[in-house]
Amino acid sequence: MWWGAVLALGCRAVAAGPLAVVVAASNPSPKLNHDQVAAIFLGAVKTFPSGNKAVPVDQVQGSPAYVQFYGQVTEKSEAQVRAYWSRMIFTGKGSPPQENGDSAAVKKLVSSNPTLIGYIDAAAVDGSVKVVYEVK
């Protein structure tokens, strides 16, 4: 039953675990709600509630964290997210978030710039970033 082992490994790779939406520790933004996070990552809102600029940063498209984040926060599949951004680009209404690797890469980038917002593995949160929303 080698296929059972392959299937089990494949399923394990898809589960990303809890994610945290983070900003730089120096960012004054308060906690965000589900709709605010979705609006920022879908380009509908370009600022934090404080009025400061908000620039979303994605993990690699197709990664377990990317799929989980968009599935739970925007309720869109990866294909729906791609189609959404294709329409936005075609109509000149926006461009997708910058793609920046895995949790470690996103945390490093976000921690160095208070205008950035990203999502990382909740276990990777440390003092360099501040959690503004939890994806469960």
Instruction: Indicate which CATH number applies to the domain containing 116.
Output: 3.40.190.10
What is the pLDDT, as a whole number, of residue 15? Answer: 52
Asked whether residue 3 carries a pLDDT value surpassing 60, the answer given is no
pLDDT of 95: 94
Does residue 126 lie within any of the structural domains? yes
Contact 120, 60 (CB under 8 A): no
Cα 117 to Cα 1, 23, 61, 77: the distances in Å are 44, 5, 16, 21
Instruction: Identify whether 89 is part of a domain.
Output: yes
Examine residue 8 and state whether it is found in any structural domain, yes or no: no
Write out pLDDT tens, residues 104-129: 999 999 999 999 999 999 999 999 99
Q: In what order do the strands lie in the sheet with 129-135?
A: 98-99, 55-58, 116-121, 19-24, 129-135
Quick check: 38 and 76 in contact, CB under 8 A? Answer: no
Is 86 among the domain residues? yes
pTM value?
Answer: 0.87
**Cβ neighbour number for residue 13 with a 10 Å cutoff:** 10
Q: Is residue 5 part of a domain?
A: no
In-domain check, residue 21: no
Q: 39-52 pLDDT, tens per residue?
A: 999 999 999 999 99
User: For the chain, what is the domain count?
Assistant: 1
Q: How many CB atoms within 10 Å of residue 125? A: 17
99 lies in some domain = yes
Task: Domain of residue 73: give its range.
Answer: 29-135
Q: Is residue 14 part of a domain?
A: no
CB atoms within 10 A of CB 136: 8
